[in-house]
Amino acid sequence: MVEEVAVAAGTMRVRGESAEPVPLVHVTREEVQRLDTRIGELNRVLGGGVVPGSIVLVGGDPGIGKSTLLLQMADRLAAQGHVVLYISGEESPQQTKLRAERLGVAAESLLVLAETDLVRIRHHVARVRPALVIIDSVQTVYHPDVASAPGSVAQVRECTAHLMRMAKEQGVATFVVGHVTKDGAIAGPKLLEHMVDAVLYFEGDRHHAYRILRAVKNRFGSTNEIGIFEMKDTGLAEVVNPSAHFLSERPTGVAGSTVVASLEGTRPVLVEVQALVTPTSFATPRRMATGVDPNRVALLLAVLEKRVGLFLQHHDAYVNVAGGVRLDEPAVDLAVVVSVASSFRDEPTDPHDVVVGEVGLTGEVRGVSRIEQRVREAHKLGFRRVIVPAQNLSGGWDPPPGMRLIGVRTVEEALEAAFGR
């Protein structure tokens, strides 16, 4: 329960000189010059760079690298001559300096402020006139007119509204760090995500080096793009070729391993799908999946039992996507099916094969989008065969030299192509 204090309705207009309705066809579009962060993976997720006057919410688990990424971005922008104001409500300027020295951040126009009072923050922003403001974090900022503790629903909502007005009125890009709950959702009211222009989630295991930046909302770009980083001693480094990194530790000649060409936005990524099928001593076998939808895996196991004849009702099945990546598109269905069948039969697949396709309940293999990009990515990494839906071979395009495409219409044909050789 949160106490709500009734206040007089304000008349402040967020943007625009006139409130009169105008025909949409008469509205002129302004050319917006985005700010180049000099971090290619971050630019990709943002849609090409930082839009002036936008407000971006960045969430993620503690210690995942949110502050590190934003401090590196601030340094790159400040090195180009832009004034950047980094406002920390969790660290003192001395603590921020220690982290900056470790990351090699030393730009002259990067200003640091330790403040949590929103009125004072707006005063400093109006005085400094920065191109970028970073608030770390919104749960530590409070407005003195709101009679509740920092981090409460009323404070987070009111502070975000003031930051949004500040960004729109002054044309300053604002990045806001948000805490997350134990379930992984951003803490506070859901209204927080509705108010901002973009919501970025920083994902990954703290005990692994790879981090994935994903946009779940973006008014200025696609929400399908991901950025991949590697955590090092000197900060976050971009992963230019994620497919090579995800497959660098792939074992060869082991049953239950299959490579799939997944599409994340406009980027094809080759990832290893692993499966382990073992006899169970319980009445109900276990079905566990990491990196893919567990319900989808259960559906594919039922297809294998009904359409192929693999009796999995007395076996535990575990499916994992190596590298900590989460695959949401249906094009990974066929790779999961081949991996499970490989582990069940204890027969390895060809290490030079890539499997792509969506599986239906009747055992048919459906076509996928942008098959040319997936095949080119596989060819670039040295793979020689790609098992694809037969529907994708009717487009009239030629595969790269040395690459063989095998079209399949059913799951039985796919397994025969994968193990028959």
Residue ranges of the annotated binding site for ATP are 60-67
Would the CA dihedral through 97, 101, 105, 107 be positive or negative? positive
Distance separating alpha carbons of residues 105 and 99, to the nearest angstrom: 8
Distance separating alpha carbons of residues 237 and 239, to the nearest angstrom: 7
Distance separating alpha carbons of residues 113 and 82, to the nearest angstrom: 17
Rounded to the nearest 10°, the torsion over CA 383, 384, 389, 395 is 110
Distance separating alpha carbons of residues 332 and 326, to the nearest angstrom: 11
DSSP-derived 3-state class of residue 344: helix
50 is written with which tokens?
A: 């930082």
Rg (CA), the chain: 25
Q: Per residue, what are the HEC states of 220-241?
A: CCCCCCEEEEEEECCEEEECCC
Distance separating alpha carbons of residues 159 and 36, to the nearest angstrom: 27
Q: Which residues are known binding-site members?
A: 60-67
Contacts of 342 (CB under 8 A, 6+ apart): 255, 256, 257, 258, 275, 348, 349, 418, 419
Q: In what order do the strands lie in the sheet with 315-321?
A: 287-290, 315-321, 267-279, 257-264, 353-355, 385-389, 404-408
DSSP-derived 3-state class of residue 151: coil
Distance separating alpha carbons of residues 110 and 108, to the nearest angstrom: 6
Closest CA to 280 of 253, 255, 317: 317
Distance separating alpha carbons of residues 81 and 103, to the nearest angstrom: 19
